[in-house]
Structure formats: C-alpha cells, structure tokens
Structure 1
Amino acid sequence: MSDELEPIAGLWHSFFGGRDYDCFYASVFEAENPALKSLPLAVQQKQIVVTCNYEARRRGLRKLQLIKQARKLCPDVVVMLGEDLTKFRDASKCLYAFLKGFIWGNRAERLGFDEVFLDVTSMIDYNVELLNYNDLPNSFFQLDKSDPTVGFVYDATTICGPTYPPTLIPNGSASCETSPESHIGTSAFEPGSLYMRLIIGSHLAYYLRRLLEESKGYTSTVGISTSKLLSKLVGNVHKPRSQTTLLPPYDVEHNDDGRQESNVIRFLGPHDIGRIPGIGFKTAQRIRSHALGREQETGVYEELVASDTVTTHDLRSFPGMGPVLLDNILCGGGWPKGTGTKVWGLINGIDPTPVADARAVPTQISIEDSYAQLERLEDVTKELIPIARNLLRRMRVDLTADDNDDDSDNDYGNQDTHISQGERPSPRKKKRWLAHPRTLRLSTRLLLPPNPDGIRNFNSSRTSRSCPMPVFIFSFNEDIPALADRLVHQTIVPQLFRKLHPENSGWKINLLNIAVTNMVESGGSERGSSGRDIGKMFRNQERVLSQWRVEDRDVGPDSDNVIDGDTGLRSIDVVEDMEGEGEDEDGDGGDDEGTWDSDGDTLTECNACAVCGVRIPYFAVKAHELYHSLPD
C-alpha cells in the first residue's frame, strides 16, 4: 500500500457502546437527564434489555438479558422503555449533522444510529502543506480554507491519545522521538509521511471529540487509520470516551530487515473472523466449519464459545489457505463470485471501500414489529395499520422539507385548529418531498414447527413481496391515520400479503416489516438535489422576471399618457416615451402617422427614413440611423 495514496478515515462511535451499538440508547436518556449517568440504567424493548450503561454493566447486567433477570441482579436498576425509536433517530441525525459540518466535501457516512465514518483525507493533506517543520510543537490546524483564523493549535511532534501498539509514554501519547520502532523505514518528520498524517489526524479526532462533548453532551470513541475496516476495529481498543491510532508500519515491504511484522497483521491476528467488518455470520460459519473440520456449536444470536473461535492468524496459517481456497469454500450457497478473494483481503487488513458521500435522504425506510404468532387475517390487518402509520410519519420526517416558495405564505387551508371569527389564521408551512420512493415492500417471517423434543428453532429467513408505490401516500391533504388505513386495505393486504400467504389462516407469523425503497430524489435548489424543481420555477417566474418585464399596454390614439388608477403609474405607448426622436433633419417629423390596430392588440407608430424612405418603428430609429452612418 502506498502511503501517499492511503486516505485517513475515522470511525466515530456515539458513546456508550461497548460494541458499536451497545449504549447509544442509554446515552440519549442520559443526555436528557444527566442524573441517570451515575445510576444503573437499562433500556427495554419487549421483555429484554437492548442496552445498558456502564454502571449497570459493572453490576452484572448485559444486553439481550431478560428484564426479570436484570431486576433480580440489580434491584435498583432504572428501566426506560425504548420501543419508540423517534428520539434515538433524532439524536443520531443531530450528531451526524454536527460532525458532517466540519468535514470538507461532505465525506461523512452514517452507519446505523451510532456510527459515522469520516474521510478527512483532504483536510489532512491541506494541513500537511501548512506545517512549519522548524516549529512543529506550535502547529495550527486550519478547519476552513477561506478563513485561516478558524482552527486550533496542536503539537505536531506527538500523536494525541492512545495508540496501537501501545507506547511507554506515561500520558499515553506516542512521541516520535521515543517511538522509532513505529516508523521504521521512513522519517516521522518527512513531509507527507504516513506517520505525520496520523499525528495530524489524531489531533483532529481529539478536537472533534471534545467539541462534540461540550456542545452536545455526548462522549465518543474514535479509531484513526487509513481504511474503514482498520479505523472501526482499532477504535474498540480503548473504550469509552477515548481514541486509538493504529501506528505504522502498515506494510512489511517497508522494513529493511524483513523481520518486522506489519502492525496491521499484528493487530488483526487475535480477532475472530466473525468480528471482521464485511464478514457476516453465514460466511464466518462456513469458513469455521472448514478450518475446524466440524460444524460450529454457536447459534446465530449466541455469544461465540472459545472452542468455535477461528482467528485471522489461524486462518492465514491454515495449510493452503488463500483467495483461491476461500473461493472454493464459499462456492455456492448464494455468495457472489469473488467473495473468497474479498474475505482474504479483509483478514489481511485490505479494505478499499470508500467513505460514501453524505446523502440528503436514506436509501430506504422500514418499520417492523415482532409477535408471538399471528394466524388470522384480521389480526394481521390490525397489526399492519400501526406499522404503516409509523412508516408514513418517518417518511414525512426524513423525506420532506419546508417549501420556501413565496406563494406558500398565503396558504391558510386545512387548518387543524379552530379559528374564531374575525381572526386571521397563521399560515401553515407548506411541505415538499425531497425524494419519492418507487417501491413498497412487505416482509414476513414464520415460526418453524417444533422439533421432536419440543424445542422450536429460530427462523432467520424472511419472505418478501414488492409492488409500485401508490401515489396517494404523497398527499399532504389527508392525515396520516387515513392514509395508513388506505395503504393497508387497498395495497398491502390485497397486493402483497395475499400473494405472500394465499391461505386464509394458520400462518404463524411472528414478524411484519413494511419498507419503502428505490428512492428517486426530487428537484430542488439544495446541494445534492437531482435537477431543478420545474414546478417551483414556473410558480416563481412572475416574481423573478418582473424586474425585467417590458409591458405593451393597449392605449387609444388620443391617450398618450394614461394614469393607471390601480398603480398610479403612467402607461407608456410602446416601450418608453420617445417623443421627438423620430423627427427628420427638417424638423417636420416626416410621415408621423399613428396606426391603431382594429383588433385592439397593438399600437404601431413609425417614421419614414429621410435617407432611404423606409418606414421605421420608433424603437428601431437609432439603429437604422447607425446603419446609414457606417462606411460602405
């Protein structure tokens, strides 16, 4: 890998996550009520603990634990209901927007509620050029290209925060002078070196972490490296409220003695293959079965037992292991061609996936709920309606924006509140769609029949059916409950559910999911909009073009100057008052004739040219005279 071409990527975990998503829900409640930070806090969905804060974990609580067990282990635990995701979604979007505001080029990618990848390559490259190598301890990071005063001071001789491999510096920082082994084969102070860029990246990470905590009240954990894969994993080394930088060398080819192991290989070695981002449960299960020579014992939602662990070091050391063998192992089973080659790259720390540009709208929106079992159509229909309502609410939050069209100022229709007689209602802000989903999808999951021993296996597979999105759901004239009822009874049940389950009853459904996908962004004036909103352009053209409009009013032959009673302005015959400009050299005005069009549409006044005799309209006299004045 070339140091000069490697982008610096940072993975941001909105805090309280022992594992990426663990504690984000709890952090939202703690941000609302800081007194909860010192108490054991658990967030409940259904009858289980979906996450808990670190105080609760210290007392033995864990995620996916039954609420009954959690209360028994910790009687004073504070349990908050977290089934409504609205506040968590809003908090996630707020933090994402805050971080994205600092990143050049909108190179920010949100993953779930609590993870954000930030590609700060351009920011690092720009600030490397600003370094004064004669005064590195007093360097300045410029956050805005157009304003050199916006930024912060930092010490460019040390990495900020903990590192991997760990250093011996008491404060946890990595000093260039005292860590020569971390940059073998290159000078740490060489302009543009990977080590120097990581130093700058670590200080930017600390600055944004501190600003996020001071401004929003959320702490965070950050990993700093050159790819999404490495930054995600190295961020897990020091948690919570910390950051970790993966030190060079990243490539053993940079070493002279040939014995120095790449820090990437050294770091990834103890990780189980299932913990590598991009390697899913079924892929890891197939690879483990081949490496262990048996089927693994751990289930899909169970914690991996030690006997089933296969680390990346184990896999790289397996006889004959490589991309070809992995392709053979993963041949069939629904994996696309080349999956083995991709997996081989991931376990060696190679991840070329770029950080996606920030999106104005999500790629899809889905709402689901699980049940003990649904066996009758009436029960299914009853449960689909609240899901459809929540979906439509989400669509209006994520896919609409205020319409700043000036015409909307006079829209007083469809007022929800009672207006007393004589009161002028306050205008309701009009909305417009940022994107229109083209596809509506329904997914269901069935309970599997029980085994002979009476135990029912978990069914992870779903069946889905899609149809075109009905147009009526984009109407703002109907309220959400009415639209949801129409959507369920007119589209979802007859067109989707009945085709998925043609039987009248007895399905044993334990999950329902409604999703809208295939987003098509609408035109608009915002950055990232797909084209222009032509409807809005037509509505605004009268106002926009008014300052350049030339009016041609119908005025009778004897009405040279008529006062408009409405505007108080003087109507001009043609374009402007050109009295006297049509006189010939003798001053008699020539054939000054005015012809009134019998249709009453136009008024044409012309003069005969004194040179050629052609009748010329007033507005062309000057141009015609200029024509005669030009040399032949």
Structure 2
Amino acid sequence: MESGCSHYNDADSEHSRCIIHIDVDCFYAQVEMVRNPELRSVPLGIQQKNIVVTSNYEARKYGIQKCMLVTDALKVCPNLKLVNGEDLHNYRTASNKIFAVLQCWKCPVEKLGMDENYIDVTNLVQEKMKSLNVSNVTLSGHAYSEPSIDCPCGCHTRLRVTSQIASEMRKKIFEDLSFTTCAGIAHNKLLAKLICPQNKPNDQTTIFPEHGTSFMSTLDSVRSIPSIGSKTTEALISQNIVTVSDLQEASLDVLKKHFSSDMAVRLKGLSVGEDNTPVKQTGKPQSIGLEDSFKIVSVRSEVEDKFTALLQRLLVLVREDGRIPVSLRVTLRKKDAKRLSSHRESRQSQISPSIFALSNGALTVTDAGQQKLMNIIMRLFNKLIDLSKPFHLTLVGLAFTKFQERMTGRGSIVNYLMNDISVQSVLNLQNECDTSASSMDYSAVSPSSSTTTDLSDAEVEPSPKKPKKVNWIAKRRCLSKEEVASPSKLKVGELRLNSKELEKVSELRLNSRDRSLTPRASPAKDNLSDTSDSMRDCEERSCDDCPSYVDKEVFSALPDNMQKELKAMWKNPSTSEVQRSSPRTTNKAKPNTIMKYFVPHK
C-alpha cells in the first residue's frame, strides 16, 4: 500500500478528477421485473436462443450463471422462470431513460453498453465544496480501504463529496425508474469501473488514489483490465505475464520488445491503476444495427425471412432515433470448417432518404419503401454469397450506418435559404398576409465513401436534376404597424422553379433592367399573373427607383442602408453582374450584402 498521493502528476489533472461509474444490477432481468413485478420473487432467467444470458439474484442462489445453457440451467434450477430476451427494444428504452436521469446533473455522461455509465462530476464537486465544511464531509457507502494519512492535494475530500453525489444519483434512478444500481467512485475511469462490483448489488464503493496499485494487484488476469483485449492478453501470456501483479513486476524494456514504446508505457500505467482517458459525453450512435445468430441457414428464402424480421425491428429503432438513414450495411457470418473461428463479411450501400417520410413528427416507411430496402438488402446478399455453390450461415446482421439530421424548425437556416429544394410552384404564390411557408426537411448530406460501400447496383432513387440557380423571389409578407421592421422577418421563397417558370422569371428580370435604364418604360406584358396588380401599384408609388416587381410595403420595411444598396444595384445592374463574374475578384473576399440572400450567383 502506498503511503500517499505525491507520486501523481498534478499537471496531468488526472488526480483532481472525480469519476463515478454506475452499473445497473442484473439489467435485463430487472427490466423484466419492473415490467412484471410478479417476477421479483421467483428465479428468473433471460433467454436468448438456447442460452441464459443473465438472471436475477434469486436465480443465482441456485447456481445459475451468465451464458449458461438453458438445459443446464433447468437442471440446476427446475423452477427457473425463463423470459425471451431476443428483442432488445425494452432494454434500449430503459437504458435511454437511465441515461436521461443522469444528465439531470449537467455533467458529462458516457454510456458503456446499455447498463453502464461514466459520469465526470469534477466541476460539480468543486462547486459543492465552496459551501461545505470540508472537515465534516463523510463518505457515503463503502471504502475499499481507509486512507492512513490525508492527501495534501485534497483528493480524499473530493472523493467523499463524489460518493454523496453518487448516492443521490442512484436514489434518483430508483425513485424514478425502480432500478437498483451499484457504483464505483475514483479519480479515474479505470479504478471507478473495476471497484464498482465490489459491493454488488445495490451499493457503492470508493477507492482512494493511494490504494490503486494494491487493488490492481489483486486481479487474477490481465484480461480483467478493460483496455486489454484478447490479442494483447495472448502476447502477454506468451511472456509469462498472466496476472496483473505479473504485469506490475515486468520491466519496461521487456514490454517494449513485444509492443510499441507508447503501448508498453500504457500497459505499465494500467497495471498500477493509472488512466488519463476523459469521460466523453455520449451523443447519438454512429450506427444502429441488429443481428440474428443461429446454428445454420443454407436456403436463400430463409435468409430473406431473417432479414425481413430484422428490418421490421430496425425501423422501430430508427423511428425512435429520429435521424434519416442514408446508408445500409448487410453483415453475414459464414461457417467455415477450415477456420477455428467464424469470420464476418459485410457490404453496404447508399440508400435514398426519400424512402423515409415524416408523419406526425415521426419517421415512417411505406410498404413500397420497405420493399425497396429489402431489394437492396438481397442485392447486397447476392454479392456476398455465390448462390451457385452451397453456403452455410450462422449469423445475419443489418445496420443503418450513416444519418442526416432533420434540419427543420424555427431556428433552422432552411427557413431563410431554401437552396435546391422541390416545393410549390412560383405561380401559386399568394399575396394574403396569412400566407405561411411550408414546413420542409432539408437534405444536405453527401455520405462519404467506404471501402465496403457498394454503389454500383444498389437501388437508389435518382435525385431530381438540379436546375441552374436563378434569382429567388421573396414571398410577400404584410407587416402590421405594431411590428418592428426587421430583415429577419422576411422569408425567402422556398422555391425550385420549373423550366417554364424560369423563362418567365428571366423575362421579368430582363424587362425590369430595361425599365431601370430607360425612364418610365412600360411594364412587361408577359409577367406572373399574381404579381401584375403589384406592378401597376408600384408605378404609382413614390419609389421611382424600385423595379415594378418589387413590393413597396416589403421594401419599406428594410433598413435604410439595405434600401440604398438595393437601389444602387437596380440603377446599374450590369455593373453588379460584371463585378460578380469578374475573374479578378474571384479570389477576393466578397462583402456580405443582402443581395447574397435574394440573388444567389448563377
């Protein structure tokens, strides 16, 4: 046991951190017990295929263990109640609810699987200590070992405060969701996770920094360290490094012979409980996928049935996520007698976002859309499997791997600039004051390519051809006298013009320029029907510099400097066109003007 904390480097800020690791007790079983309270008092096992993946503590009294065969579990506990847990929907929902509760403390929360979370409460602890009597702070829960002396850096007090916060979090989860949890409290993620199960279930343990090395030496296998995988474990065992204590005693030079210099230093640090990795706030997952494993499937129709069932469940998860998928991946695991372990192969393809529609704020897929997805899935399957030869599969998987956010809402830029969007015709513009812009989704994602992406034969709907960029016409908007005139209240037309409308708009622009160069020129004869009245009114108004297609009321709502800028452009349109297209100015910074929004470059 170390006598103090002085060997830590405060400059790394690792010693000042306050980390909580919360793990839900027998998570799958608890979800089922919360849904059906009658299961609380009976031995309960969660079955997936022919395996009991987990059980409640009542079943563990009989000797039920994780990943035990159902047949063996029933021999040990004949009255074992089994619940099918292959559909993970309820477990994901419960996990998200727990995550939401932990976010109430406004601290970074990092999910680890569905039942574990890291929380960095360092800033919260510092705030609490300002109003606490440091000498009276007590520890909540258990301590791995009581410190012999006080650490001069103050970590003991900070961790005691952290233990109180952990107790509050666990209490909140139980009160709101009825889940019992255990917690580990430490100054880094590694020790917080490893100390967490020390007093399971429904309790918590704190470990102080000076006990890190002695605690790590009690671990039987180097595989017990979360950062060490199977290949690293094999390499260490080949050097007779089996336990964590062996790793502590191994020299750095020996490790550098088999690992990189950085990896060797990392392994030595982990063996004594040192870990500088930060808690990273968890966002939405980068991919959403499901898998189905089985003994053997060798018929294409059976594979299609498996994929159909997976797709139905996957669409439910996508609906809850809210993002629009733009890429789909198919995964297969083939049985190969020549290989000791089965291997996976995958292919992915871009999919059209138009397959997903928005209905009452939720993503939906029609039957035709689901059929398109199935066609893509089976096309990818045919690329992975040579159907002219026998095949044996033990797993199929589906995943949406890339997404685009739905960019709608009052604060979205889409409400101001609707570039490259198919919407209503320009001929349908209304002049009434209560005309409102349509709520639309904006697609601006161009998925990056991948080595496994298959775009050649995927059934992706072609996007409509983009017309040349033209001047967008602002929708009319009537402002009441009480309203404050502001350019932000002007909504740019959410338009994509068809070819006939383009001709009319182009003719309108040419005629307006002729009128600006020739005083009091007659209005264009062929103009938009719903703006003819406005053009006649504009000639009678005092704004002689305004073209006939401009709404005087909207123009007057603009600030004076914007009005001057527009008038200057209308007086000399040819100069502004030349300035925009001049090759000399292409590389120069262009001024941010209102015309950038109303008249985009061609």
TM-score category, normalised to shorter length: 0.5 to 0.7
Which residues of 2 match residues 163-312 of structure 1 at below 5 A? 163-165=143-145, 167=146, 179=147, 181-183=148-150, 186=152, 193-249=154-210, 263-271=211-219, 272-291=221-240, 310-312=242-244
**1:104-162 deviation digits (Å, cap 9, x = unpaired):** 3xx111111100111111101111222235xx54xxxxxxxxxxxxxxxxxx1x21111
Determine whether 1:329 maps to 2:258: yes
Aligned residues: 432
Whole-angstrom CA distance in 2 between matches of 1:341 and 1:497: 44
Whole-angstrom CA distance in 2 between matches of 1:81 and 1:355: 34
TM-score between the two structures when normalised by the length of structure 1? 0.62
Is there any run of 5+ residues in structure 1 with no aligned partner, and where?
A: 16-22, 138-155, 168-178, 187-191, 250-262, 293-309, 332-336, 401-434, 451-456, 552-595, 607-618, 624-632
Contact 1:224 1:245 (C-alpha < 8 Å) held by counterparts: yes
Aligned residue identity for 1:349: G
Correspondence for 1:111:
112
Correspondence for 1:461:
343
Is there any run of 5+ residues in structure 2 with no aligned partner, and where?
A: 1-7, 419-436, 440-473, 487-532, 544-555, 561-602
Contact 1:222 1:235 (C-alpha < 8 Å) held by counterparts: yes
Would the alpha carbon gap of residues 200 and 86 (structure 1) be closer, same or farther in structure 2, given more than 3 Å must change? same
Would the alpha carbon gap of residues 390 and 196 (structure 1) be closer, same or farther in structure 2, given more than 3 Å must change? same
How many Å apart are 1:605 and its aligned residue? 5.3
Correspondence for 1:611:
none
How many Å apart are 1:290 and its aligned residue? 2.4
How many Å apart are 1:510 and its aligned residue? 0.7
Whole-angstrom CA distance in 2 between matches of 1:160 and 1:127: 15
Correspondence for 2:103:
100
Would the alpha carbon gap of residues 597 and 351 (structure 1) be closer, same or farther in structure 2, given more than 3 Å must change? closer
Would the alpha carbon gap of residues 467 and 266 (structure 1) be closer, same or farther in structure 2, given more than 3 Å must change? same
Correspondence for 1:628:
none
Correspondence for 1:499:
383
TM-score between the two structures when normalised by the length of structure 2? 0.65
How many Å apart are 1:464 and its aligned residue? 1.7
Contact 1:522 1:533 (C-alpha < 8 Å) held by counterparts: no
Correspondence for 1:388:
311
Aligned residue identity for 1:162: H
Whole-angstrom CA distance in 2 between matches of 1:54 and 1:69: 18
**1:174-211 deviation digits (Å, cap 9, x = unpaired):** xxxxx5x153x52xxxxx71111011001111122122
Correspondence for 1:591:
none
Aligned residue identity for 1:395: V
Whole-angstrom CA distance in 2 between matches of 1:444 and 1:503: 14
Would the alpha carbon gap of residues 91 and 536 (structure 1) be closer, same or farther in structure 2, given more than 3 Å must change? farther
Whole-angstrom CA distance in 2 between matches of 1:327 and 1:385: 50
Would the alpha carbon gap of residues 385 and 14 (structure 1) be closer, same or farther in structure 2, given more than 3 Å must change? same
Contact 2:52 2:66 (C-alpha < 8 Å) held by counterparts: yes
**1:414-446 deviation digits (Å, cap 9, x = unpaired):** xxxxxxxxxxxxxxxxxxxxx344432111111
How many Å apart are 1:275 and its aligned residue? 1.1
Correspondence for 2:512:
none
Aligned residue identity for 1:497: F
- Find 1:604's aligned residue among 504, 526, 541: 541
When the two chains are superposed, the root-mean-square deviation of aligned CA atoms in Å is: 3.3
Secondary structure at 2:343 match in 1: coil
Determine whether 1:448 maps to 2:336: yes
Determine whether 1:515 maps to 2:515: no
Contact 1:3 1:194 (C-alpha < 8 Å) held by counterparts: no
More strand by share: 1
Whole-angstrom CA distance in 2 between matches of 1:546 and 1:101: 42
Whole-angstrom CA distance in 1 between matches of 2:86 and 2:179: 21
- Find 1:397's aligned residue among 320, 327, 334: 320
How many Å apart are 1:317 and its aligned residue? 1.5
Contact 1:392 1:480 (C-alpha < 8 Å) held by counterparts: no
Correspondence for 1:470:
352
- Find 1:348's aligned residue among 254, 258, 272: 272
Secondary structure at 1:506 match in 2: coil
Correspondence for 1:415:
none
Q: Percent identity at matched positions?
A: 30
Correspondence for 2:370:
484
Aligned residue identity for 1:11: H
Whole-angstrom CA distance in 2 between matches of 1:598 and 1:373: 75
How many Å apart are 1:327 and its aligned residue? 4.7
Correspondence for 2:469:
none
Contact 2:326 2:353 (C-alpha < 8 Å) held by counterparts: no
Would the alpha carbon gap of residues 533 and 246 (structure 1) be closer, same or farther in structure 2, given more than 3 Å must change? farther
Secondary structure at 1:291 match in 2: coil
**1:263-309 deviation digits (Å, cap 9, x = unpaired):** 111111122210111111222122112226xxxxxxxxxxxxxxxxx
